[in-house]
Copies of this chain bind each other. A is one copy, B any other.
Amino acid sequence: MSSHEKGNQHMAHKYETVAAGIRATIAESMAPHDALPSERELMAIYGVSRMTVRQAIAKLSEEGRVYNVHGSGTYVGSTDLFSKSPKLTSFTEDMMSRGYSASSRVLAVSRVEADDVVARALELVAGSECTHIRRLRLADGNPMAIEDVYLPTTILDIEQFNLGDSLYEQLRTSGHEVYRAEQEIQAITLNEERSRLLEVEPGSAALCVSRVSSSRRGQLIEYARTIYRADRYTFQLAVTRENDR
């Protein structure tokens, strides 16, 4: 990298610089379970205080790149494993990370009254107006999933929606950035209509992911239900012990 590698936006903080340096060191010259320099040594190496070193290590630890052993040291995490920590991604991002090119075919855009499921999920009074978008999602041109998204018209009305652009991007620019989502994953049996869209036999199993997305402040933004072909899609996530009460 040249000398101006931090051209990303607001100028990097020190702990990000330290984390990036450690990341690079690991990638270039360290193996799993090798010990990192001690926090005191890292202070000297990067010319920062201990708290800044610890903040950098905390970040790397969240990423699964290192792990701490109290009283012993900080070590490089096992390879292969890791980096699959549950992350909120768009369909496009998800497919890209799996090595597919994503595309989609809009099947319907309409203004509807919220049914029981949608109303309960978005905490609306029954019958509230919602924008409904149904899309067939394709990976490398092949049917992968059917996605139904419901948004309160107060968040995004039908005229505002631009079919070409990313929905998440449109929400972000209109001040409704999705920050958090609760997801429920279940196995279902495909009915005739859905199996035809996904080009599989009726009665096949499929993975159904229901999602309620909210902003950083907790405002409910969308309810989405995505039905994936079971033979082409699996849901992966990493979990750790902890997360008290």
Contact = CB atoms under 8 A, between A and B. Distances in A.
B217 A184 contact: no
Interface string A137-176: 0000000000000000000000000000000000000000
A67 B218 contact: yes
Given A180-B238, A205-B206, A243 B186 contact: no
B183 A238 contact: yes
Interface residues of A, number: 57
A239 B211 CA distance: 10
Count this chain's copies in the assembly. 2
A228 to B, nearest CB: 8
Nearest to A208: B187
B81 A218 contact: yes
Interface string A55-83: 00000001100010100000101101100
Given A62-B243, A87-B242, A187-B206, 5 more contacts: A33-B218, A182-B236, A185-B236, A187-B208, A205-B206
